[in-house]
Structure 1
Amino acid sequence: MAPFAHDFPFDPAYGLTLDELLDVPAPPPPEDFEAFWRARYAEARAVDTAPEVGPVEEERDGVRLHGVTFTSVGGVRLGGRLALPVDGPAEHGFVIAHGYGGRQAAGADVPLPLPRSAAILPCVRGMGDRGLVPGIPDDAAGHVLHGIGSRDTCVIGDCVADLWCAASALQELLPRLSGPRRLGCLGESLGGGLGALALPWDERLGAAQLTVPTFGNHPLRLTLPCAGSGESVRAHHRGHPEAAEVLRYFDAATAAALVEVPVLVAAALFDPSVPPPGQFAVYNALRGPRELLVLRAGHFAYRGIVADTAELVARRTRFFEARLGA
């Protein structure tokens, strides 16, 4: 029985208990999964990101937020925001990925997980006010299908590369943050799925926190109705079953099985937009140090959400203090 009253034509809890969610597996990878992603990473690292920082747009919570632009794969110029400490040099750095809601509010991702931190908050291609690219839909239903006919053109792969290029831009701007395991990664929903796909290959990322991550266990997701971008993929798959083979390369749970750095996952028991089985598949697949915070709901307003969000923020801070605080 769903834990919340709702008017969705399906059960956003999918009839599963926590114990059952903790048993959801990750699909096996395609034979050339690692080779595919290592080649994509090498391409991204070869990009001259040429970051440019704009004037201060907002100051709050100990950081100044600037506009920033950088170049990603394919010569695409993207924008976002750069958070720099008000006082003193940055001792920690973060790459913060957004969800399909985009990045509408300049300060939505501050305060940062640790004090004395810098962060780059990129808009991935096609998304947000600073990521618009001609030809790429800026709505979730259209965006997730862009280029899905081939693993080499699927926009999700390019969006992962956008995060890698954002990390390059941050380290170019702040050389003291260069080196392996110097950066933290955060992502929610779309950003959580992108983060899981980005982590196994990038030695610069030393820890990550993923909230209600999407793209976990695509074969299962294709059987589950939802109100998010996954429903667009399900509809496309009914007419194009060959898309399932492409999706194998962009499965966040498959990638999670190759992640070695510590990861904190916040996964929801009830979520109409990102089915919980896929979220838990990402956590379950992790083989490195991992932590789980079980949320009552994701992508859903409910009584108590403010307190639960505060708990997540506190847990995130403790996690990064232990992993990156030294």
Structure 2
Amino acid sequence: MALFDLPLDQLRGYRPDPDEPADFDAFWERSLGEAAAHPLDAEFTPYDAALTAVDSYDVSFAGWGGHRISAWLNVPAGAEGPLPTVVHYLGYGGGRGLPLDHLVWPAAGWATLVVDTRGQGAVNHHSAGSTPDPHGAANPQSPGFMTNGILDPETYFYRRVFTDAVRAVEAARSHPSVDPARIVVNGASQGGGIAQAVAALSPHVKAAFVDVPFLTHYRRAVEITDKDPYQEIVRFLATQHGAQEQVFRTLSYFDGVSFAARATVPALYSVALMDPICPPSTVFAAYNHWAGPKEIEVYPWNGHEGGTTVHRRAQLRKLRDLA
């Protein structure tokens, strides 16, 4: 993929006004309040992962609508005292897989909660998921998740996902191995977009690692990339004539730029300048609005894979400072 977006010097100053409705904060306060009416009821069942250095738990808790959400909790074996913890959100289409897929953070001495994304985890080569989405789409949709319920913010898929993700932080904090004051949220692509939202919506997050985030600056994304998942929105609009105003009104409640502007904890971002899936200008739009301390690692010659293990090393060093 060639360089196709703004040059880096312009990206560093790219700070478009957030496209958000007047009731953005009220919408999320109400959404989280409705979820809080359901007991969290977090369950941690010891799981035989055949690992000697990590203790694993099969986790279930009540997310949006009281629906059960699955996760894994990996804890360094023999660790004493409550541990700093990474709450990890997954990329588009992926599921939680198995505990052995998530060993980097425990190897650094951190507990890790790996959160399933409802309805996902049965796509191509991605890891399997085990969390259904009992709340069906309220409108015709392009295959995928981007247009599920997109004609109304009340029914939009990511209202449920972001709410689940906030509840996941609460579930992690309820386990005795987790230090409730040292929670870092993390994810790449869809997971990065979810982490952005949770950092703004949860008062219990200490820091955020946001990698090549999806679900950010939607209007520009659909106009400059022809790659999925953003193209799901384009295909929807190409058939549902006259829906444009409703669609972008809904998306304005879920835009990472608005969440970033409300997040005050330290953040470490990554961006790849040849990323055709999450264009770099959409990442910088959120990063430049982030309200707390922040750093961004730029990978000029990478695509959506971002900085891969080189960036993970940077994150591990940052975790060491936060511990």
Specify whether residues 61 and 38 from structure 1 end up closer, same or farther in structure 2 by C-alpha distance, changes over 3 A only. Answer: farther
The alpha carbon displacement at 1:223 in A equals 1.0
Of 41, 49, 68, 2:40 maps to: 49
For 1:43-192, list aligned pairs within 5 A.
43-58=34-49, 62-89=53-80, 90-103=82-95, 105-106=97-98, 107-112=100-105, 115-128=108-121, 129-134=129-134, 136=136, 141-174=143-176, 177-178=179-180, 181-192=181-192
The alpha carbon displacement at 1:141 in A equals 4.3
Specify whether residues 58 and 298 from structure 1 end up closer, same or farther in structure 2 by C-alpha distance, changes over 3 A only. Answer: farther
Specify whether residues 62 and 270 from structure 1 end up closer, same or farther in structure 2 by C-alpha distance, changes over 3 A only. Answer: farther
Verify the 8 A CA contact 2:67 2:134 in the aligned structure 1. Answer: no
- TM-score, L = length of structure 2: 0.86
2:244 counterpart letter in structure 1: P
1:290 counterpart letter in structure 2: K
2:116 counterpart letter in structure 1: C
Specify whether residues 75 and 135 from structure 1 end up closer, same or farther in structure 2 by C-alpha distance, changes over 3 A only. Answer: closer
**Number of residue pairs matched by the alignment:** 305
The match for 1:32 is 23
Distance 1:264 1:126 in 2: 28
The alpha carbon displacement at 1:86 in A equals 0.6
Q: What is the RMSD computed on CA atoms of the aligned residues?
A: 2.4
Listed as ranges, the gaps of 5+ residues in structure 1 are 4-12
Specify whether residues 51 and 286 from structure 1 end up closer, same or farther in structure 2 by C-alpha distance, changes over 3 A only. Answer: same
The alpha carbon displacement at 1:314 in A equals 1.5
Specify whether residues 98 and 50 from structure 1 end up closer, same or farther in structure 2 by C-alpha distance, changes over 3 A only. Answer: same
The match for 2:8 is 18
Q: Report the 3-state secondary structure (helix = DSSP H, G, I; strand = E; otherwise coil) of the residue aligned with 2:174.
A: helix
Distance 1:274 1:60 in 2: 35
Q: Deviations over 1:14-41 (max 9, x none)?
A: 2422122223324423211122222223
The alpha carbon displacement at 1:175 in A equals 7.2
The match for 2:258 is 254
Identity within the alignment, %: 27
For 1:166-315, list aligned pairs within 5 A.
166-174=168-176, 177-178=179-180, 181-238=181-238, 239=241, 240-242=243-245, 243-295=247-299, 296-299=301-304, 308-315=307-314
Distance 2:320 2:136 in 1: 38
- TM-score, L = length of structure 1: 0.85
The alpha carbon displacement at 1:287 in A equals 2.2
Q: Report the 3-state secondary structure (helix = DSSP H, G, I; strand = E; otherwise coil) of the residue aligned with 1:223.
A: helix
Listed as ranges, the gaps of 5+ residues in structure 2 are 122-128
